[in-house]
Structure 1
Amino acid sequence: MLKLRPIILAAVAALAAGATTAACFGDAFGLAAPELTALPSIAPAPAGTSSKPLAALSSASPWLVEVPGGADALRGKVVVVNFWTYSCINSLRALPALRAWEERYRSKGLVVVGVHAPEFNFEKDPARVRTALSDLDVKYPIVQDNRYATWQRFGNEGWPGFYFIDAKGDVRGYRLGEGHYDEAEQLIRKLLTEAGQDVTGIKALPAVGAGIEAEADWKDLRSPESYLGYAKADNFQSDGGLVRDISSQYRPAASLSLNQWDLSGSWKVGSEYAALAGPDGKIRYRFHGRDLHLVLGGASQASPIRFRVLVDGAPPGSNHGTDIDAAGWGEIKEDRLYQLVRQAGGVVDRTVTIEFSRPGVHAYVFTFG
């Protein structure tokens, strides 16, 4: 039985080895598998999962953070494999739980392994991923999966995906999407106990995320993920629609309804992102959610691009996100997800405007929380 909660991304990625569906989910699939674990949110492994998952990890490369002793040292360990990508908000909100599991149970033989499977081209750059790992305080082993070879050998279905492997090397559970971390930890404790470890002295406490990693306000979230590249764009309102692959002048729509957006200024819209082609460009979006994020790039540490965010036409004040100040000012230095709005009071429909003063900005996707 498929039980749906808010799906944050419905992306279809064309992967190197063929057409494979890749989607980024919130608490999307609660697949009951009582015969397997008696934990409702934990499913059996997908049909395409290799019967030798540790062998799949042993052949994976490159490792950005090595497994101590090499990937072959995973044999005999309880392993949690997490498929993620660093600009996906759903992947980021899972990090507190992954860090907590690694810290609590490392001494008992648990190894957390992250498989970084990029959605956007900039996430394929190992140097950028290493910077993100440092910024996000991710210290457990990470392998880069640019061609989705490991993804396919596991039969994974989206970000974040979690595989729970016992000390015999068998996949004992699968979880797609955020949430239900308490049940996942119960399974980890069960597998460690089966392996002869005593975990009774370790408290299983909720891992509470802060800042951009805070759990979404699901009850008040009414805006879906929204791409700016034409391959997946929807609800665009500027007159004339999106013009593909050439610089064009855009004007704002007369008004925006919920989950609609527009552009102002000269933009070149490609399949993956919209690039500002002249000065004084703007993006507007009408949304309903506590948090609004936008994946941005095109700048560098040496030459950052300054931008300003307005909420309903005014500085955000106490509603500013972690990447801007109360006056709405922020800078693009790295290609990554930026949190622009976190509503401090009641969540209501709002229009966000992002203003850029010089060309070069790449705008990929809005996400919400």
Structure 2
Amino acid sequence: QRTLPYLKAWYEKYKNTGLEIIGVHTPEFAFEKLQKNVQTAVNGFGITYPVILDNEYRTWNAYGNQYWPRKYLVDIDGFIVYDHIGEGGYAETEMQIQKALAERAERLGLAMPDIAVSQDVAEAGGRVRSPETYFGAWRNSNLGNGISGTRGPQTLTMSSRLQPNEFYLDGRWNFEEQYLENLSKGARIAFTYDAKDVYFVAAATAAVKIKVTRDGGEPLGTDRGADVDANGEATIHEDRLYKLIEGADYGTHTLEIEVEGVGLQAYTFTFG
């Protein structure tokens, strides 16, 4: 999510000088294997470069990859000339793109226009201090209350003191391998984050409403994300990423989600 705006910007900036971007979608979760869900995401994010589905992890394994995301820069001869693991490093990546394109232009006898590296990319990538957070038993080591790494139901009480970058639960929840699902109405999730934007990968057994507040029940106001209405509510009705908070600036806040019904399936929080 954080890397995507840079990929889109680089594609528009350099596509006429020889840059091609191919997105490889290797799914983390079962619902991400469905082509219709991927197509919806591609359309929603306004991605114009090609995206391929790697459901069997063949491209992932061919490159010996172990990370989301990972960027490979391939030169005119088909060799990998730059490799960056994870988010960040955007200014360095753009400089490597320029270097590869300059070498291509020289080989082909073309003029390479003088294009400046974006000045804001390094700063923007370094301001987010909260990691992607997984709710399922498979990878929920930052569960603040309850027993992590264990499948099955747990009844939990919200803690009065929240540690940053740990998620806390209230109510009755069932932990599956990839997600957790609320079994009681009024169940809550709380998380203290340091970022500007908050995204929520979620699904539901049937459409369910959530109430989204921040910092002790304050409404989100103009910081509410595209999927949250003026009343601070979002309806989780399909398997996808939901934009909960799109803030004006970076900062530390406590997010709280209250589930009106049952059947919410929470996969991850990501931050931007």
Q: The TM-score by the shorter chain falls in which range?
A: 0.7 to 0.9
CA contact (8 A) 2:209 2:236 kept: yes
- What SS does the corresponding residue of 2:42 show, helix, strand or coil? helix
Q: Do the aligned partners of residues 105 and 292 (structure 1) sit closer, same or farther apart at CA in structure 2, a change above 3 Å counting?
A: closer
Match of 1:290, SS state, is strand
Determine the structure 2 residue equivalent to 1:112: 21
More strand by share: 2
Q: Give the percent of matched residue pairs that are identical in Structure 1 and Structure 2.
A: 33
State the match for 1:356 in structure 2.
259
1:297 corresponds to 2:203: yes
Letter in 1 for 2:29: F
Asked if the contact 2:198/2:243 (under 8 Å) is kept, the reply is yes
Q: C-alpha displacement at 1:275, in angstroms?
A: 0.9
- Give the counterpart letter for 2:214 in structure 1: V
Alpha-carbon offset, residue 104 of structure 1: 4.5
Q: Which amino acid aligns with 1:161?
A: R
Give me the TM-score of the superposition, normalised by structure 2: 0.84
Distance in 2 of aligned mates of 1:275 and 1:115 = 29
Q: Aligned to 2:11, what secondary structure does the other structure show?
A: helix
Q: Which one of 260, 266, 274 corresponds to residue 180 of structure 2?
A: 274
**In 1, Cα distance between equivalents of 2:130 and 2:13:** 35
Partner of 1:225: 132
What letter matches 1:170 in structure 2?
A: F
* 1:132 pairs with 2:41: yes
- 1:183 corresponding residue in structure 2: 95
Give how far 1:101 is off: 3.9
How many positions carry a matched residue from both structures?
Answer: 268
Name the amino acid aligned to 1:142.
Answer: V
Tell me the SS of whatever aligns to 1:291: strand
Equivalent residues of 1:97, 1:207 under 8 A apart: no
Query: Deviation of residue 309 (structure 1)?
Result: 0.7
In structure 2, give the amino acid aligned to 1:352: L
Paired amino acid for 1:297: A
Q: Does 1:198 align with 2:110?
A: yes
C-alpha distance in 1, partners of 2:166/2:3?
28
Structure 1: distance between partners of 2:31 and 2:44: 16
Amino acid at match of 1:160: P
Provide the residue aligned with 1:159 in structure 2. 68
Distance (Å, rounded) in 2 between the aligned partners of 1:137 and 1:343 = 20
Q: For 2:236, which of 326, 332, 337 is the aligned residue? A: 332
Deviation at 1:196, TM superposition (A): 0.8
Q: How does 1:1-369 map to 2 (within 5 A)?
A: 89=1, 93-177=2-86, 178=88, 179-180=90-91, 181-196=93-108, 198-201=110-113, 203-204=115-116, 206=118, 216=124, 218-219=126-127, 221-238=128-145, 240-241=146-147, 244-298=150-204, 304-312=207-215, 313-344=217-248, 347-348=251-252, 350-369=253-272
Task: Note the C-alpha offset of 1:208.
Answer: 7.8
- Offset of 1:128 from its aligned partner? 0.7
Judged with a 3 Å threshold, the aligned counterparts in structure 2 of structure 1 residues 324 and 182 are, in CA distance, closer, same or farther, namely same
The unaligned stretches of length 5 or more in structure 1 are 1-88, 210-214
* CA RMSD, Structure 1 to Structure 2 (Å): 2.9
In 2, distance between residues paired with 1:186 and 1:324?
A: 39
The 10-residue stretch of structure 1 (98-107 or 118-127) with the greater mean CA deviation from structure 2: 98-107
Shift of 1:242: 5.0
Q: Which moved more, 1:278-287 or 1:124-133?
A: 278-287
Report the CA distance between 1:363 and its aligned residue: 0.6
For residues 142 and 7 of structure 2, what CA distance do their matches in structure 1 show? 35
Aligned partners of 2:124 and 2:141: how far apart in 1? 23
State the Cα distance separating 1:340 from its structure 2 match.
2.1
